[in-house]
Amino acid sequence: MTEPFFMTMQCAGGPEVGSAIAPPVNPAGGWQAGGVLAIDKPEGPTSFAVVNRIKKRLCLKKAGHCGTLDPFATGLLLVCINQATRISDQLLDQDKVYRFGIRLGQETETLDKTGRITRTYDGLPPSERQLNAVLESFRGVCLQKVPRYAAVRVEGRRLYELSRKGVEVDRPERQVCIRRLELLSYRWPDATLETWCSKGTYVRQLASDIGHLLGCGAFVSELRRLASGPFRIEQAVSFSEVESESEMNRWEQRLIPMNDALAHLPAVLVEDGTVLKRMQDGQISREWEAAHRERFSGYGKPVRLLDKDDRLVALWWPFPETPSQRRMRVF
């Protein structure tokens, strides 16, 4: 659920003559601002289709989403625009919050409402107490199998491609962390839950595993992402606004600047003009690094380098994982 997707496109020019809605373009033929758009994805389109629509509307050169939502899922989809596509890796590695419905008593081949029903339970409904006891067993760190219909590659092929062809393979397991898993409502056969979980957690598999422990089976009947790291659904632009002519000239106001989007990373203000100029040219002073590296001892993530106007100049890795890893990413 968390694979990044990037798309590049060279704008062929301004809007079509006589078109009802004209995307804002600059004289060079494209929308040049860079940043992150929080989109409230509706049910139906793929994450790819949402990005494609935004890209066409704004005549963007580059756009990509951070963390796929299945077509039937709704909620927060982060779309990185232009230069911001280069910080997507720093936005993927964050916890997510989901609200989801599960239908107990049935199982489907895809573990959600889009799949064919493969089993129906005819026993007594589990009690709310039993359901809460099962939920307790999933809280904390656990191993989760990747669902059969997932985009993870196994033996060089997408797992969902192998599953559609009836090829059985050993599904990989991942360590995930369920920080919170709460029951919001329950009336057989439907329950509504909310979870705060680590990246890479498959809610579909979580629902299936809950049903398995209850003995009655379950699948996801609805799924909505409420948060990704510090980003919240309340910040999101609805897809109807994407289609609205009246909103077109407000897009830049809705962009989250790259520096703000990376606020979870520590920052260093680069005040020396000579050092800053070298950084902007892709070079970093060994003396400057030595003077600042000690502050981040034991820290394995990048650090934001800012100019005096709090603009993001570069990301700097004080302690690269390998000798060949680049120590700086310039914007």
Mapped onto helix, strand or coil, the DSSP state of residue 80 is strand
Order of strands, sheet of 328-330, starting from the edge strand that comes earlier in the sequence: 267-269, 303-306, 312-316, 328-330
Please state whether the peptide bond connecting residue 189 to the residue before it is cis, i.e. omega within 30 degrees of 0: yes
Catalytic-labelled residue, pool 40, 70, 112, 209: 70
CA distance 147 to 157: 14
Distant-in-sequence, close-in-space partners of 114: CB < 8 Å, separation ≥ 6: 70, 71, 72, 108
The size of the chain, in residues, is: 331
Residue 29 zone, left/alpha/beta (φ > 0; ψ -120 to 50; rest): left
Active site residue 112: no
Helices (H), 215-296: 239-243, 251-254, 258-261, 273-280, 286-293
- Environment class of 296 (CB within 10 Å of its CB; exposed 0-12, middle 13-18, buried 19+): middle
Query: Using CA of residue 274, residue 277, residue 281, residue 286, what is the dihedral sign?
Result: positive
> Which residues are catalytic, by number?
70
